[in-house]
Structure formats: C-alpha cells, structure tokens
C-alpha cells in the first residue's frame, strides 16, 4: 500500500514560538499561512505541520498522490482504496471518505495507542 508523503501534524500553543523553535533545528517554511495559524515546515525530506487551534492532539499525516515536495506522483493508491483495505482488515475508522467520489478526500484511523492517522489525499 502506497501512503504517500509523511508528516507529523503538531497541535501547537504558540505558532510563532514553534516556528522559531523548528527554524532553529534547520526547518524552513515550505507552505501554509501564518495568518491562518498553520505552517508546513521542511528539513530535507522531513515535514512537520504546525497547527494552532485547529485540533487537540498531534496527528500522523499521510498524503497519497504526493511526494515530500507536494509534487503529484504518477502512481499511487487512492485514499478510498486504502480505506477499503483497512475496512477489509477489520480496522475501525474514526471518519470516512465518501467512496462514491474521486479526487481529494480523507479519512482518519486511530492506532491501538490512541494516535490519530490522517490519510489526506489532495489530488
């Protein structure tokens, strides 16, 4: 199963302080909008999303159809195919993508330790 680009989406209390901290670790702003309280920071292939006031806990994020530079991949597993595979394995979903659609969609699954995984397809 091809899950696409991986990042950690962090729920932060002060996005400017978090931006400064991660810049000190060698990350730079790759995408996002500080006025909307979110930034995507990049260091090599490592991606971290900073989100202030958008969700309560940190989230592991996968983007089917994208590489780590947000470039479209020629070949990838559609989010609905991934969702169906997990359903077939008996894994409960916290949210579901509409399987009657195509293109951008997302769903959330929670691992046995309570960590949320967002499978978020943008293409």
Please list the ranges in the chain whose pLDDT falls under 70.
none
Domain housing 60: 5-121
pLDDT digits (tens, 9 = 90+) for 1-14: 899 999 999 999 99
- Compute the distance between CA of residue 73 and CA of residue 92 in angstroms, rounded to an integer: 28
Round the average pLDDT of the chain to a whole number and report it.
97
Number of folded domains in the chain?
1
- Compute the distance between CA of residue 119 and CA of residue 7 in angstroms, rounded to an integer: 11
Residue count of the chain, please give it.
Answer: 123
The predicted structure's pLDDT at residue 38:
98
pLDDT digits (tens, 9 = 90+) for 22-37: 999 999 999 999 999 9
CB count in 10 Å sphere of residue 39: 24
The predicted structure's pLDDT at residue 83:
98
Read off the pTM. 0.91
**Residue 84: strand, helix, or coil:** helix
Q: Give the domain CATH number at 26.
A: 3.10.180.10
């Amino acid at each position: 199963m091809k899950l696409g680009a991986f990042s950690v989406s962090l729920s932060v209390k002060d996005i400017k302080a978090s931006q400064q901290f991660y810049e000190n670790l060698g990350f730079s702003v790759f995408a996002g909008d500080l006025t909307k309280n979110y930034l995507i920071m990049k260091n090599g292939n490592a991606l971290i999303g900073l989100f202030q006031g958008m969700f309560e806990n940190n989230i592991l994020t996968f983007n089917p159809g994208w590489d780590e530079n947000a470039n479209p991949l020629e070949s990838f597993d559609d989010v609905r195919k991934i969702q169906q595979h997990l359903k077939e394995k008996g894994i409960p979903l916290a949210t579901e993508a509409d399987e009657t659609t195509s293109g951008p969609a997302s769903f959330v699954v929670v691992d046995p330790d309570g960590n949320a995984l967002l499978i978020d397809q943008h293409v």
